[in-house]
Amino acid sequence: MIVRILIFFGFAFALSLFLTLNFFTVNAMTGNIEAGKIRYAKNCVNCHGPAGMGLASYPKISGLEIAYIIDRLETYRAGIEIGPNSALMIMMAQPLSDVEIANLAAYLNAQNTK
């Protein structure tokens, strides 16, 4: 019973943290495409391919909505799983700053790969 209560509060806390982060980014930031491109080339490209076009089992992430990309990266950064391979993305998103996330979102949104 105690464990259940603790899990519930842990979840509520994670959710409120996530909502707060969301609120600030949506209100405060417009990313820089050039800076996003440089950050993307550092390691994102290894899995998601050139310009986010997708590679093998790694999803295509080019051309997605800015708000969607920010939301995903913040969710991973908070350690919350989305799909079956979230562990990989959680590891990648944890070092990202709010500014880096905004820049990456601006860059990826501007890419048009088929």
The reply to whether 70 sits near ligand HEC by the rule CB under 6 A is no
The reply to whether 83 sits near ligand HEC by the rule CB under 6 A is yes
Distance in angstroms (rounded) separating the CA atoms of residues 29 and 21 = 12
- Tokens (6 digits) for 62: 């080019």
Which residue, 63, 68, 42, is CA-closest to 113?
Answer: 63
Stretch that binds ligand HEC, among 9-17, 21-29, 41-49 (CB under 6 A): 41-49
Residue selected from 44, 51, 66, 106 as contacting ligand HEC according to rule CB under 6 A? 44
Coarse DSSP helix, strand, coil percentages of the chain, rounded to the nearest 5 percent: 70, 0, 30
The reply to whether 59 sits near ligand HEC by the rule CB under 6 A is yes
**Contact residues: ligand HEC, CB under 6 A:** 43-44, 46-48, 58-59, 61, 69, 72-73, 82-86, 88-89, 92, 104
